[in-house]
Structure 1
Amino acid sequence: MADDVRLSAGTAELTIAPGDGAALHSLTIDGTELLRQDPGTGCFVMAPWAGRLGYGRLTVGDRTYHLPIDNPPHSIHGTARDGAWEVLSASATEATLRHRLADPWPFAGTVTQTCALTGDGLTLTMRITTDHDPFPAQGGWHPWFLRDIPPATGPLELEIHPAWQYERGPDYLPTGRHIPPTPPPWDDCFGMPGGVEARLTWPGFLVLTITSPVTDVVVWTLPEESLSVEAQSGPPNGLNTAPRMVTPDAPLDVRVDWSWQHTRER
Structure 2
Amino acid sequence: MSTQLSAGGADITIDQDNGCRVGSLRVDGLELLRQGPRYGSFPMVPWCGRTANGEFRDGGTVHRLPVNHPPHAIHGLGRDLPWRTASVTDTGAAFYFDLADPWPHPGRVTQSFELGQDSLKITLGVETYQDSFPAQAGWHPWFNRTLTEGGPAARIAFDPAWQEERGEDHLPTGRRIDPAPGPWDDCFGMPYGVDVTLTWPGELELKVTSPAEWVVVYDEQPEAVCVEPQSGPPNGLNTLPRLVTPVDPLEVSTTWTWRRLR
The answer to whether TM tops 0.5 is yes
State how 1:5-20 maps to structure 2 within 5 Å.
5-20=3-18
TM-score normalized by the length of structure 1: 0.97
Instruction: Give the deviation of 1:59 after TM superposition.
Output: 0.6
Match of 2:35, SS state, is coil
Distance 1:63 1:153 in 2: 52
Q: Which residue of 1 aligns with 2:182?
A: 184
- Report the equivalent of 1:30: 28
Alignment counterpart, residue 116 of structure 2, candidates 118, 123, 128: 118
1:4 to 2:2 alignment: yes
Q: Paired residue for 1:106?
A: 104
Paired residue type of 1:173: L
Q: Residue 18 of structure 2 contacts residue 37 of structure 2 at CA under 8 Å; is this kept in 1?
A: no
**1:260 Cα shift?**
0.5
Q: CA deviation at 1:205?
A: 0.9
Choose from 130, 133, 139 the match for 2:131: 133
Mapped to 2, the partners of 1:149 and 1:167 lie a distance apart of 32
- In structure 2, the CA distance between the partners of 1:152 and 1:233, relative to structure 1 (3 Å rule), is farther
Question: What is the aligned partner in structure 2 of residue 145 from structure 1?
Answer: 143
DSSP 3-state at the match of 2:17: helix
**CA distance 1:197–1:152, shift in 2 (3 Å):** farther
Q: Report 1:168-179 matches (<5 A).
A: 168-179=166-177
Structure 1 spans left out of the alignment, 5+ residues: none
Deviation at 1:84, TM superposition (A): 2.0
Alignment correspondent of 2:163: 165
CA distances 1:1-53 after superposition (whole Å, capped 9, x unpaired): xx200000000000001100101000000111110012210000000010000
- How far residue 148 of structure 1 moved from its aligned partner, in angstroms, is 1.1
- TM-superposed CA distance for 1:142, in Å, is 0.3
Partners of 1:114 and 1:186 in 2: CA distance: 29
2:90 alignment partner in structure 1 = 92
Structure 2-normalised TM-score?
A: 0.98
Show the counterpart of 1:236: 234
Q: Distance in 2 between matches of 1:151 and 1:186?
A: 24
Task: Please tell me whether the aligned partners of residues 137 and 252 of structure 2 are also in contact (alpha carbons under 8 angstroms).
Answer: yes
Moved over 6 A (4+): none
Instruction: Say whether 1:203 aligns with 2:201.
Output: yes
2:51 to 53, 75, 90: 53
Q: Which residue of 2 aligns with 1:70?
A: 68
Number of equivalences:
262
> Which residue of structure 2 aligns with residue 249 of structure 1?
247
**2:243 partner letter:** M
Secondary structure in 2 aligned to 1:81? helix
After superposition, what is the alpha-carbon deviation per residue over 1:96-118, rounded to whole angstroms, capped at 9, x for unaligned? Answer: 00011111111101110001000
CA RMSD of aligned residues (A): 1.0
Tell me if the contact between 1:43 and 1:141 (Cα under 8 Å) persists in the aligned partners: yes
Name the CA distance, whole Å, in 2 between partners of 1:136 and 1:83: 20
Q: Report SS of the residue matched to 1:222.
A: coil
Which one of 209, 225, 228 corresponds to residue 227 of structure 1?
225
Distance 2:103 2:245 in 1: 16
1:158-209 per-residue CA deviation (whole Å, 9 max, x = no partner) reads: 1111110000111111111000011101100000111100000111111000
Which of 188, 211, 214 is the matching residue for 2:212?
214
Cα gap change, 1:103 to 1:45, in 2 (>3 Å): same
